[in-house]
A and B are shown apart, each in its own frame.
Chain A
Amino acid sequence: MVNLGSPPAPRRSKGADRLGTSLPGSRAVPGRGEEVEETLKRIQSHKGVIGNMVVNAEGIPIRTTLDNSTTVQYAGLLHQLTMKARSTVRDIDPQNDLTFLRIRSKKHEIMVAPDKEYLLIVIQNPCE
């Protein structure tokens, strides 16, 4: 398991090779913005991932790898669904809480990692 706290230089250059661009900034401590971008690109590079996005607590997308209209649609709908799922879990058992939400459809699988302030949505095509 890679320690995410201080990304070492070799891993950053691997990311640069993959993308064909070099990341700006100093090598000692990468800015938080770059860390965010790196993490999302790491997730995006996994097998079968079609796209991912981060949505804030109001359902407005903050970062995405898909086009604007698709992102907005996914963000709004999945935010509502996640809130509903969370309230379902807590209604059944108030001590319980939602940790992860997966929706499997004919064409792909949508994974939502919820949190107090943000939602991470990943869409994967599990090719079988």
Chain B
Amino acid sequence: TATRALPGPLGKAGRAASAALATGGAASAKGPGRPGQLQDETLGVASVPSQWRGVRGIRGETKSCQTASIATAEASTQARSHAEAQVQTEAPVPVSMLPPSRLDTTRLAAFLQRVEAMVIRELNKNWQSHAFDGFEVNWMEQQQTVSCLHTLCYPPAQGQGLHVTSISWNTTGSVVACAYGRLDDGDWSTLKSFVCAWNLDRRGLNPRQPSAVVEVPSAALCLAFHPTQPSHLAGGLYSGEVLVWDMSHPEDPLLWRTGLTDDTHTDPVYQVVWLPEPRQSHRFQVLSVATDGKVLLWQGVGAGRLQLTEGFALVIQQLPRSTKLRKPPRGETEVGTTAVAFSSFDPSLFVLGTEGGFPVKCSLTAEEAALTRMPSSVPLRAPAQFTFSPHGGPIYSVSCSPFHRNLFLSAGTDGHVHLYSMLQAQPLISLQLSYKYLFAVRWSPVRPLVFAAASGEGDVQLFDLQKSSQKPTVSIKQTEDGSPVYCLEFNSQQTQLLAAGDAKGTVKVWQLSTEFTEQGPRETEDLDQLAAEVAT
């Protein structure tokens, strides 16, 4: 309705208003109905003065700054003379004692008179004192269990199905090397194989990437690091060769090799050992043991060749008849040797493990010539002095005790470990550790009564003769599927580490609990007691 009414009244007013709007704003202020002209008008500027600014006023000053000119001067220096200097650590010269002639005996006697009484009193008091009974101090963090620190492997070798046949720690205890090969091959093979080394103290250790890898032309069966040079490594091959590498030069590691001469072994080399030279004890030679019955001593000469210096041959007719052996066959036959261990107390005495299962005590100083027709550039001697009672099968490993001069262990395919004393043919203790073969046995370097054995059932067994002489204290499972563990070695520098290599191609480094690394107070005496149980 509004819209309809609008045109009517709005029509008149609307016309008037729109007329007023059309004429301009100011003029129409007088009211509608009076039309005006369209005009532009300008008004004056209206300004409002600021009140506060006037009070303050504006103050300004001009300032400038300029850095003073910088003084420069040119000078030069040049070293005119220089000198070269080198530093080399040498083995310390042992201090020797004062010769007795430069001694003032009177004053020494007077001194001893003064102190003797007091010292004897203290000795007696100490002997009777119970003040420290049962007092024990723990300096190191106690580790209760055995744990696996590293699992090391080399995938190309594992891909070829190679086993870890031997392990060695270097002289500083930070590098572990392993040899790859196969222990179950009966045939000659031209399988290329590897020797790998891992530096465990390096940061960023990649367990699948060894720090040094050496390719060898044939399966490597044994390794031994040099006793004083941290990077020299000797190894024996399936082909009978003995090689020495320098692991710090991965591009060209081979230092010396025996080559394939008349002197080389004709059978696989099962163990190599570094021996100090008889006259210069800081230089070393390599001893190799193989199943052809020869024990050979090699010396590195110029042009990278290992030369034979001495040799021994074990012939069955020349073995001392200290124990009943099988009737020897006609003709001279060599006894295959599979393991060697040197006594830590007498450097010329060693024990050989044989394929016949009997350990043989031998000496480097033996003079008798060996009855063998094997060709050799140096005369071969018969080293055997005493034969021990045999195992039920070939021996794979022997180990001489570092704490007692007469004790050694041997382990073989009959699954037994025998503890022998050098003084009698029958073993002191015979333990069955496995229903399969035993491949390695080693005495602990710190605990006189502890040894470790690697079994064909895939575990590493640690024996503590103090705790139990029947069953192992700890049995560490190395392989899940029960494939055999072929080798193990204790680390003599970091005594809580034990490395073991198995048929799957992995090397596991185990950290032992503190009970295996700290000597108890009476262990050496207990060991002596054990050794004294020799039947008279």
A binds B: yes
Using a CB–CB cutoff of 8 Å, the interface residues on chain A facing chain B are 1, 4-5, 31-33, 35-36, 39-40, 42-43, 46-49, 54, 56, 60-64, 68-69, 71-72, 76, 100, 102, 104, 106-107, 109, 111, 113, 115, 117-118, 120, 122, 124, 126, 128
Say whether B97 contacts A72, CB under 8 Å.
Answer: yes
CB distance from A116 to the nearest CB of B (A): 9
Partner of A4, one of B95, B116, B521: B116
Q: Are B105 and A111 in contact (CB under 8 A)?
A: no
Closest to B97 in A: A61
Contact of A47 among B95, B108, B117, B127 (CB under 8 A): B127
On whether the beta carbons of A68 and B96 are closer than 8 Å, the reply is yes
Chain B residues near A32 (CB-CB < 8 A)? 105-106, 108-109
Give chain B's interface residues, CB within 8 Å of chain A.
94-98, 100, 103, 105-109, 111-120, 122-124, 126-127, 129-130, 132-133, 519, 521
Q: When the two chains form their complex, are residues B521 and A122 in contact, meaning their CB atoms are under 8 A apart?
A: no
Cβ-neighbour of A60 out of B97, B107, B132 (below 8 A): B97
**Are B116 and A43 interface neighbours, CB within 8 A?**
yes
Considering only CB atoms, which chain A residue lies closest to B131 in the complex?
A104
User: Are A128 and B97 in contact, with the CB atoms below 8 A?
Assistant: no
> Please, which residue of chain B has its CB at the minimum distance from the CB of A35?
B109
- CB <8 Å contact, B127 and A48: yes
Contact B122 A54 (CB under 8 A): no
- Pair B98/A60 contact, Cβ less than 8 Å: yes
Instruction: Flag if B107 contacts A124 (CB, 8 Å).
Output: no
Q: Which residue of A lies closest to B127 (CB)?
A: A47
Q: A48-B127, A126-B129 are in contact. Are A117 and B111 (CB under 8 A)?
A: yes
Give every chain B residue within 8 A of A54 (Cβ-Cβ).
108, 111-112
| Bound-state Cα–Cα, A113 to B95, Å | 23
Q: Roughly how many angstroms separate A68 CA and B130 CA in the complex, as a whole number? A: 33
Q: Check A71 against B97 for contact (C-beta < 8 Å).
A: yes
Chain A residues near B113: list those with CB within 8 A. 4-5, 39
Chain B residues within 8 Å of A120, by CB: 111-112, 115, 119
Q: What is the minimal beta-carbon distance from B487 to any residue of chain A, in angstroms?
A: 32
Contact A122 B123 (CB under 8 A): yes
A72 to B98 alpha-carbon distance, docked (Å): 11
Q: Is the CB of A128 within 8 A of B105?
A: no
Question: 6 new A-B pairs (CB below 8 Å) besides A72-B94, A111-B126, A124-B123?
Answer: A4-B113, A35-B109, A39-B112, A49-B123, A61-B98, A126-B132
Residue from the list B94, B115, B122 in contact with A115, Cβ < 8 A: B115
Nearest A residue to B134 by beta-carbon distance? A128
Ordered by A's residue number, 13 sampled pairs between the chains whose C-beta atoms are within 8 Å are A33-B105, A35-B109, A36-B108, A36-B112, A39-B116, A40-B112, A42-B120, A46-B124, A61-B98, A72-B97, A118-B107, A120-B115, A126-B129
What are the residues of chain A within 8 A of B108 when measuring CB–CB? 32, 36, 54, 62-63, 118
- Distance between Cα atoms of A63 and B120 in the complex (Å): 18
Which chain A positions have C-beta within 8 A of B94? 68-69, 72
Bound state CA distance, A31 and B100, in angstroms? 15
Q: How long is the Cα–Cα vector from A31 to B126 in the complex, in angstroms?
A: 32
- Which residues of chain A have C-beta atoms less than 8 A from B105's C-beta? 31-33, 36
On whether the beta carbons of A126 and B112 are closer than 8 Å, the reply is: no
A122 proximity list for chain B (CB < 8 A) = 119, 123
In the assembled complex, the CB of A45 is this many whole angstroms from the nearest CB of chain B, namely 10
Nearest chain B CB to A103 CB, angstrom units? 12
Which residue of chain B has its CB nearest to the CB of A113? B115
Which residues of chain B come closer than 8 Å to A100, judged between CB atoms?
118, 122
Which A residues are CB-close (under 8 A) to B118? Answer: 100, 113
What's the minimum C-beta distance from A113 to chain B, rounded to whole angstroms? 4
| Residues from chain B with Cβ under 8 Å of A5 in the complex | 113
Q: Which chain A residue lies CB-closest to B110?
A: A32
Can you name the residue of chain B whose Cβ is closest to the Cβ of A104?
B132
Query: How far apart sit A118 and B163, CA to CA, in the bound complex (Å)?
Result: 61
B256 to chain A, nearest CB (A): 32
- Whether the Cβ atoms of B107 and A117 lie closer than 8 Å is yes
Residues of A near B120 (CB, < 8 A) are: 42-43, 46
Given contacts A4-B116, A46-B120, A100-B122, contact A128 B130 (CB under 8 A): yes
Q: Is the CB of B122 within 8 A of A1?
A: no
Query: Closest CB-CB distance, B472 to chain A, in whole Å?
Result: 26
- The reply to whether B123 and A46 form a contact with Cβ atoms under 8 Å apart is yes
Q: Give every chain A residue within 8 A of B119 (Cβ-Cβ).
A: 43, 111, 113, 120, 122
Would A115 and B111 count as touching, CB distance under 8 A? yes
Q: Are A107 and B521 in contact (CB under 8 A)?
A: yes
Tell me the nearest residue of chain B to A99, going by C-beta: B118
The 4 closest A-B pairs by CB, nearest first: A113-B115, A32-B105, A32-B109, A39-B112
A43 to chain B, nearest CB (A): 6
Among B95, B122, B124, B519: residue with most chain A CB under 10 A: B95
A109: which B residues are within 8 A, CB to CB? 126
Distance between Cα atoms of A5 and B127 in the complex (Å): 27
A57 to B96, CA, bound (A): 16
A128 touches B132 (CB 8 A): yes
Cα A95 to Cα B198 in complex, Å, equals 59
